[in-house]
Amino acid sequence: MISCPRTAYIHIPFCLSKCRYCDFNSFAGSDSLHDEYVDAIIADIEFTALSRDSALAKLDTVYFGGGTPTVLKPFALARILAAAKAGFGLAENAEVTLEANPDTVDLSSLHVLKGFGFNRLSLGAQSFCDDLLRDIGRRHDSAATVRAVRAARQAGFDNLGLDLMFALPGETLEQWQSDLDKALELRPEHLSVYELTIEDGTPFGEALKRGDISVTDEDTRIEMYEAAIEKLTNAGYEHYEVSNFALPGRRSRHNTVYWTNHSYYGFGAGASGYVAGERYRRISNPLEYIEMIALAGNPNEFSETLASDQKLGEIIMLRLRLLEGIDLREFEAETGVNLLERFSEVIEKLVARWLLETPDTHMKLTHKGLLLLNDVASAFQADA
């Protein structure tokens, strides 16, 4: 029997269209696979549930991500959630999150989803500037985001998150500040702000190679990030993770599982999981995933158990993303490693550069460290 995580991630890889920046495991124009894919995920959940230690706790969080999960019909999503509940059980106060694009939900569908047990909605707004939305390949406009938020409130969702992106090609600081202001007018419980990263193999990646677009300069990117911190914290949001802000008591419980390096299940094509010290990823291609599940084969594309030093480095970097940092005593109790001794040279150099601080019993990023997170990550990875 395997140990039982208290968290499950469910990947829905379908979209109505691919955005120009997207390198996620997502596919447009695959409507014919929807029904078979739902059946495959349910079978994946049921088989995994048979192997768990039934004496352990129920799921505290379930997260439907993508892709765009809401391209599936509400009843299909409800079937998957019901399978998770039947197989593992749901805690009474479980956080059940559903990602959605503003143009894929309305009052009717949100009423149904709320009734089936989804209680947290994460909307991919990305921007409130219609020109920027068109440039990055989004199907919705800013009005659609406002309508989706209002519909969610009418449907009874009292835990709502918005995703925003900054440093988009051609975006000005003034446009970004306007996006933040408009998001605050909607008063979501949670806001995620992500700097655009242009990846190879995406339409933006190809456009960058051709010289059709350019990367926002570093000074402007830093100004945009600092503008987000200032506006959102002044508006009462807690800056609790590098890219995430929440009203009091409304942190993402699911994502906190990742940042604290606790175990979780992953179901669906391309989903990652971490169980009993082993990391795995399901087969990325939806059709191949469906076929492998039907054959009762191993649906994993790969699995690995990290070496001790690799694992230490990963735990450090995940937990440093949380602004409260690492509790050094808890870290030593959990890993048997005195962090200040094991990485003494790295930590001394980062403290000297004002990227890290070690007040009392914690180690955490400074404000400068937040802005130069990649430098901190590289230093620990080189020593791991």
pLDDT tens digits for range 171-224 = 999 999 999 999 999 999 999 999 999 999 999 999 999 999 999 999 999 999
Separation CA 241–CA 92 (nearest Å): 26
- Tell me what pLDDT residue 354 has: 95
Reduced to 3 states (helix: H, G, I; strand: E, B; else coil), residue 156 is coil
- Tell me what pLDDT residue 334 has: 85
* Total Cβ atoms within 10 A of residue 360: 7
- Tell me what pLDDT residue 382 has: 66
Q: What is the DSSP letter of 31?
A: G
Closest CA to 288 of 7, 27, 1: 27
Beta bridge partners of 275: 278
Closest CA to 95 of 7, 11, 187: 7
Domain 7-259 coded CATH 3.20.20.70 = yes
| Residues recorded for the chain | 384
What are 115's two structure tokens? 């009734």
How far is the first Cα of the chain from the last one, in angstroms, to the nearest whole number? 32
What are 271's two structure tokens? 């989903």
Which position has the higher pLDDT, 343 or 2? 343
Separation CA 121–CA 113 (nearest Å): 10
Q: Which part of the chain is CATH 3.20.20.70?
A: 7-259
- Tell me what pLDDT residue 381 has: 73
Separation CA 384–CA 373 (nearest Å): 17
- The model's confidence at residue 54, banded by pLDDT at 50, 70 and 90, is low
- Tell me what pLDDT residue 159 has: 98
Percentage, residues of the chain above pLDDT 70: 97
- Cα 38 to Cα 10, 13, 14, 32, 69: the distances in Å are 11, 11, 11, 12, 11
Q: Which residue type sits at 310?
A: Q
Separation CA 369–CA 262 (nearest Å): 24
Separation CA 22–CA 101 (nearest Å): 14
Query: What are the tens digits of pLDDT across the range 224-254?
Result: 999 999 999 999 999 999 999 999 999 999 9
Pairing of strands 244-246, 238-241: antiparallel
Separation CA 80–CA 128 (nearest Å): 32
Give burial (CB, 10 Å; 0-12/13-18/19+) of 287.
Answer: middle
Collect all residues with Cβ–Cβ distance below 8 Å to 311 and sequence separation of at least 6: none
Is omega for the bond preceding 67 within 30 degrees of 0, making it cis?
yes
Give burial (CB, 10 Å; 0-12/13-18/19+) of 9.
Answer: buried
Separation CA 286–CA 293 (nearest Å): 11
What are 306's two structure tokens? 């990290």
Query: What are the tens digits of pLDDT across the range 117-170?
Result: 999 999 999 999 999 999 999 999 999 999 999 999 999 999 999 999 999 999
Which position has the higher pLDDT, 52 or 62? 62
